[in-house]
Copies of this chain bind each other. A is one copy, B any other.
Amino acid sequence: MESASSLPRISADSRRALVVQALRRAIETGEFQPGDRLVERDLSAQMNISRGPLREAMIQLEQEGLITTYPYRGTVVAEISAEEVEKVLVPIRLTLERFAVGHALQRLTDADLAELQGQIGAMRQAAAAGDVTGVVETDMRFHEILLERAEQPQCLQIWRTIAPRVRAYFHRDAYRHGELANVAHGHDALLEALRRRDPAEVDAILQAHINETLDL
């Protein structure tokens, strides 16, 4: 057999993980709006899964700040105010990413850099197609790769609880169609700096890059 690349990769995710991903995405993309009620029995029936793993998924999403559950009363999609994004989420993200990139910098392999380059390519394609979701996901995935390479477990864990909110914000407010193309451009500069491996330069570009989020 020459290559198995035409065969599908079989997901190892649990059913619960698949529910998390689907619900998270629906919230990030705005299909579910702040204030919308999420009723376990309804979602369970709709998604063909029993209530147990669905509940588990919802507990995770609550810890990600995407939903708020009131015991015995119901669950609603959470509001994420622009002020909290600007004053809380973005600064926290800066703290996390600056720390992680400092750690990842000397550990990045050629394969890592190639993967980052691949995300930029995918970002460009998504932008050209006007695919906001694609841009958001590749944008954040670029950063997540750096967080993973840092091998600082708490830092990555916190980043992952913050990231869904950041993605929701990007979907809602941060990108306009005419500016999608600029997103990949910003990542070019960051990748070039990563290649040069000068910590101060990388840090400065990273800060500018993330703070740009607020100017979009």
Contact = CB atoms under 8 A, between A and B. Distances in A.
Interface of A: 12, 14, 52, 55-56, 59-60, 63-65, 68, 71, 78-81, 83-84, 87-89, 91-92, 95-96, 99, 152-155, 157-158, 161-162, 165
A79 B158 contact: no
Copies of this chain assembled into the complex: 2
A68 B157 CA distance: 10
Contact of A99 (B55, B64, B87, B165): B87
Contact of A78 (B78, B79, B154): B154
A63 B60 CA distance: 7
B92 A14 contact: no
A84 B92 CA distance: 14
Secondary structure type dominating chain A contacts = helix
A99 B84 CA distance: 9
Contacts of A78: 153-154
Contacts of A65: 154, 157-158
A28 B88 CA distance: 25
Contacts of A89: 154
Contacts of A162: 158
Contact of A63 (B92, B99, B161): B161
